Structure 1
Amino acid sequence: MSWLRLACTLLLGLSLGGPAFAATACPPAPTQASPEQSAAWGRQAQDRGLLYRISRDGRDSFVYATMHIGRPEWAYPGPKLQAALKRVDVLALELDLSDAATLQVLSRPPAHAPDLKLPPALRKRLDAQARLACLPAGALAGQHPLMELSTYTVLAARWDGLDPSFGQELLLSLWAREQGLPIIGLEDAASQQRALIPGDAKLALLSLQKGLDQLEQGRVRPLMKRLAQAWAQGDLATMQDYARWCDCIEDAQDRADFIRLNDERNPTLAAGIEAKHAQGKSVLAAVGALHLSGQASLLKQLRQRGFVVEQLHPGPR
């Protein structure tokens, strides 16, 4: 559950920069590649993640399953993804962070959830995670505590060389802007906030405590590392089995949260892809890889809407 929450957090435009705490050992910064190294990575780029062609009405669109953290060498699209990018008219992301209205919603506390008053002990634990993440005091002031936690969680992956700076959505957005390719959002910001943050303060506090427990006990980094490896290898089976092996779904409430964060968002994502495709536009929809899992996966939703789905990468094993 925590990984789903943190993965979506990376689409909410949080500012993660700023000076580090002097008293805290910080994870190494990503390697700054030389022009020669960048050129070599570009020439040797491999297809990673999962790429599908979806066809209807005599026209092709594409679904690309992404990871919200990555390594520098993952910044370069492989041959099949490059070919798809050259064919499409629109890049569709879960949220379009270049949209002013979206950013305005995200800059305010969620309208559906009351202010979460944290007990001093819980606030102290959350602030400790800010120091461990090497964020300056007040860097995330005004954010909902659950969004704070998600940010600290994803930043912990930097110790394993996985950085949000190399998340696929961010890199695809940069590429699209350079090419003049329009970007659209498949969800609206308020709906995504409702999926990420419980409206019930008691449930929000419970989720915060569980997430902090997982982070403090060192259970999150191995989870993210395994997911990243599965994504890079195009291992959908491991990602689909996430709910079993993540050791993060402990009770009925956790299962309900998982469904709300993943399955229940898929019809909206599918409807957005279908609507743009029906307008005569070829779409590359880049969505978090876990949306391809579950009983109501995005690909199942698209098949139900009459799309023929063909996996392009990885090929048959």
Structure 2
Amino acid sequence: MRLKQLAVALLAVCGLAATAQAAVCPNPIPTPLTPAQLAKVGSERGFLWRISHGKTQSYLYGTIHANRVEGSALGPQVRSALQASRQLVLELDLDDASVSQQLMAGMQGKANVPAAVKARYQAQLARLCLPNALLEQLDINFLMVTLTLLDAQLAGVEGSYGTENVLLQLAKQRQLPVKGLETVAEQLAALKDDGELSLAQHEQALTMLENGHGRQQLLKLVDVWNRRDWATMSQYRSWCECENTAEDRAAMVRLLDERNPRMAQRIDALLREGQANFIAVGSLHLVGEHGLPNLLRQLGYKVEPVNLPAASK
């Protein structure tokens, strides 16, 4: 189901969703984390790997792009790994103004929703305090992700509490250099469909918003990450209901399988520079035979889970 696939890529629209809200919206725009919240040491969350390259050690961390505020407090092992690193590497450096501008430009378009479902889209926009004008301003893919993110906000899950935002803020405090693994064009290509959605795809996505099933699936993903339940995370594609059709499977290939080898090659190039890197990408990029830990092992690196269940190996 398309809405669930797009939820995997929430990072790309976290800033847009916040700025799109109307001032009278009952869902308040998220308050940035305070210095005290950033400094708070929480329980271990997410999935941390140690990468050995020569005499240097780097880290690979599986993140969650949106979370509850209590999930934003990183644990001591993750903080120690970041402290030991000389550079933070993310999928995209969203603190770079040019990157954010390119993303915003790439999200623009016209939703081109069929007349048969336009009223249902308008009802969802009204429920989430968004203007109908977004139907004429956003590409349909990013309209769906914006609706998904704001719907999750009703349950306290927000992009501002996602791991990348926390890591960026901590890196700025330390004046740690930040680098992106991908270009904006590459991420946009992965997120967008080549053609228009069918009426059936629109109806399925709307039904998930209307009955709350999409939110439930996203909340499960957030819960799995916070509990560090690698066994369940590693089986995501068996329970996400996101590969039921050929279109669904093609979208997942674009979002994960086609990006991982490119990421692995670029991580390899960074590691060859000989400095310690803290590399943070969405957790689903770490899963399975085609996940980054396995791809990096194939490139000759020793990649070990840090205090994760044996199943993560």
Distance in structure 1 (CA, Å) of the matches to 2:94 and 2:136: 20
Name stretches of at least 5 consecutive residues in structure 2 with no aligned partner. none
The 1:226–1:261 alpha-carbon spacing in structure 2 relative to 1, beyond 3 Å, is same
**Which residue matches 1:240?**
234
SS of residue matched to 1:310: strand
Aligned residue type for 1:105: Q
- Alignment of structure 1 residues 304-315 onto 2, 5 Å: 304-314=298-308
1:267 — aligned with what? 261
Report matched runs for 1:1-317 at 5 Å.
1-12=2-13, 13-17=15-19, 18-19=21-22, 21=24, 26-27=26-27, 38=37, 42-43=40-41, 45-109=42-106, 117-136=112-131, 138=133, 142-202=137-197, 207-314=201-308
TM-score norm. by structure 1 comes to: 0.86
What RMSD in Å do the two structures reach over aligned CA positions? 2.9
Name which of structure 1's ranges 237-246 and 88-97 shifts more when overlaid on structure 2: 237-246
Q: How many residues align?
A: 308
Q: 1:82 to 1:216 in 2, by over 3 A?
A: same
Q: What's the CA shift for 1:214?
A: 2.0
SS of 1:181's equivalent in the other structure is coil
Structure 1 residues 315 and 42: CA distance shift in structure 2, 3 A: farther
Letter in 1 for 2:11: L
Structure 1 235/136 Cα, relative in aligned 2: closer, same or farther at 3 Å? same
Offset of residue 148 of structure 1: 1.2
* SS class of match (1:213): helix
Cα distance between partner residues in 1 of 2:271 and 2:34: 40
Provide runs of 4+ in structure 1 moved above 6 Å: 28-35
Q: Quick one: distance in 2 between partners of 1:103 and 1:31?
A: 19
**How far off is 1:304 after superposition?**
1.0
Q: Distance in 2 between matches of 1:216 and 1:110?
A: 24
C-alpha separation in 1, matches of 2:126 and 2:235: 33
What's the CA shift for 1:98?
2.6
- Percent same amino acid among aligned pairs? 35
- Structure 2 contact 111–138 (Cα < 8 Å) conserved: no
Q: 1:257 to 1:71 in 2, by over 3 A?
A: same
Q: Secondary structure at the match of 1:14?
A: helix
Is the contact made by 1:249 and 1:255 (CA closer than 8 Å) also made in structure 2?
Answer: yes
Deviations 1:227-278 (A, max 9, x none): 1111111112211222222233321221121122111111122122211111
CA contact (8 A) 1:187 1:269 kept: yes
Which amino acid in structure 2 is aligned with residue 107 of structure 1? Answer: M
CA distance in 1, matches of 2:58, 2:297: 13
Give the distance between the partners of 1:241 and 1:28, measured in 2 at CA: 34
Shift in Å, 1:209 = 4.1
2:282 is matched by which residue type in structure 1?
G
2:9 maps to a residue whose letter is C
Letter in 1 for 2:84: R
